[in-house]
Amino acid sequence: MWDTWSLQGRVSRGWAVALAWCVIGTLGILLAGCSKPAFQNIDITGNTSFPTDFSLPDTSGKVRTLADYKGKAVILFVGYTHCPDICPATMAELSEAMKQLGSDASRVQVLFVTLDPSRDTPPVLLQYVHAFSPAFAALRPASDAARDAFAKNFRLVYAKVPGTTADNYTLDHTAASYVFDPDGHLRLYVRDGQGPDPWVHDLKLLLKS
């Protein structure tokens, strides 16, 4: 004959164990949901030392801000069209990354911001970015002062290197990009020369979040 209290104890302990596993499972799900995405580039989510927006004219003269690209991940890459190496290499990486994203590429906006507004006129900029993708766009500070303010806000470093003539100069500049998520939050700092795979990996994470 079963001892009533013994049986009750076994039943109670069984429910306790089941409840414990349920709680552990729930916490696991919650913790997984709260954990930060495993980005392959530098995660700067929540870093308050960077600006939360920008305001620059595009090649048509219309001033653009993040609000114009709501619902898209925005890649802000800064360079200049006469750049002999880093800029075209990065733009080619981004072009390939968009191809690998397939239909998700429509939810990403690449913006090329020039540090050389005197030579990079709107037609020159438009031709340059469209050589890599017709979906890419360009932004051009209206003056050197506006360029300097933008660079300071985004903590960009650049310096003019004289060439053989007054117009034949180059610019040493920070070789990196900033990425905003579809909600307009600054999330990633991406260094150059990493190839398209990290771009694709991280953009997929941002588009899912």
34 is in an annotated binding site: no
Q: DSSP letters of 17-47? A: HHHHHHHHHHHHHHHHHHSPP--SSEE-TT-
- CA gap 96, 18 in Å, rounded: 50
Q: Which of 205, 202, 200 is nearest to 95 (CA)?
A: 200
List of residues 6+ apart from 175 with CB closer than 8 A: 79, 86, 90, 191, 192, 193
Beta pairing class for 108-114 and 73-79: parallel
Check: CB of residue 202 under 8 Å from CB of residue 179: yes
87 is in an annotated binding site: yes
Q: What is the DSSP letter of 97?
A: H
Check: CB of residue 93 under 8 Å from CB of residue 41: no
Q: Could you tell me which residues are annotated as the binding site for Cu cation?
A: 83, 87, 173
Q: Could you tell me which residues are annotated as the binding site?
A: 83, 87, 173
